[in-house]
Amino acid sequence: MNFKNQVILITGGAAGIGKSTAQAFNKLGGTVVIWDLNEEAGNALVKEFGNGLFQKVDVTNYEEVGESIQKIIEAYGKIDVLINNAGITMDKTLKNMDPATWQKVIDVNLTGVFNCTQQVVPFMLEVQKGVILNASSVVGLYGNFGQTNYVATKAGVIGMTKTWARELGRKGIRVNAVAPGFIATEMVQLMPEKIIEQMVSKTPLARMGKPEDIANAYTFLASENASFITGTVLSVDGGVIS
């Protein structure tokens, strides 16, 4: 669990689970590159670390992603770990979901993961080593009311994870997904108390997860302790789908 001399790229890394993940890798000695649209939060986090890099990147923009990756390579010479954490929700029932709402979530949560991974992988192939970790969700495994677009992306991420694990395994690159359950991020904590109570009631461990719980899963899967794990989906959900 030592990431000294490793470069970890985390999309959506300025807040919530992404922020906790960035902090976890930093504490374990890694050089963290944070991608986010929130410049203030991203720069503050890098300042807190005293090293690493923040880049304002829209993961839906293929060219912008490629240019930003090139700058990382120029600065550090490599990317050891990619964590595709960036994601959004725009919830509506099927009846009320307009095409624009559908497409926006697909663009960020699914196409964004493709854009980042497809352009990072060539640099991992050069050294025959690397780790790719994708943010799915328990709802990608069992569905959820009012989240047709979000569920579709998180199920799609699982499919891509398993495909890439098969394609890249012989090249020394491991690919896994993490499926968080109900996690007490800043966004969730702003929800009505009644909704939060419902989330807790569905969780056998009788609490919401912490962002650190997901960060710990990412650091484990990125480490040599997980060197024989690829193509898997690790549910970190307090038993929701047990």
Query: Structure tokens of 234?
Result: 């690790």
Nearest to 70 by CA among 36, 19, 33: 33
Please state the separation of Cα 124 from the chain's center in Å.
18
Specify whether the backbone of 145 is left (phi greater than 0), alpha (psi in -120 to 50) or beta. beta
* Contact criterion met (CB below 8 Å) for 101 and 150: no
Which one of the listed residues 62, 76, 142, 150 is annotated catalytic? Answer: 150
Annotated active-site residue 218? The verdict is no
Query: What secondary structure does DSSP assign to 36-77, as a single string?
Result: ES-HHHHHHHHHHHTSSEEEE--TT-HHHHHHHHHHHHHHHS
Query: Structure tokens of 172?
Result: 């020394």
Query: Structure tokens of 217?
Result: 């899963």
Residues involved in catalysis: 150
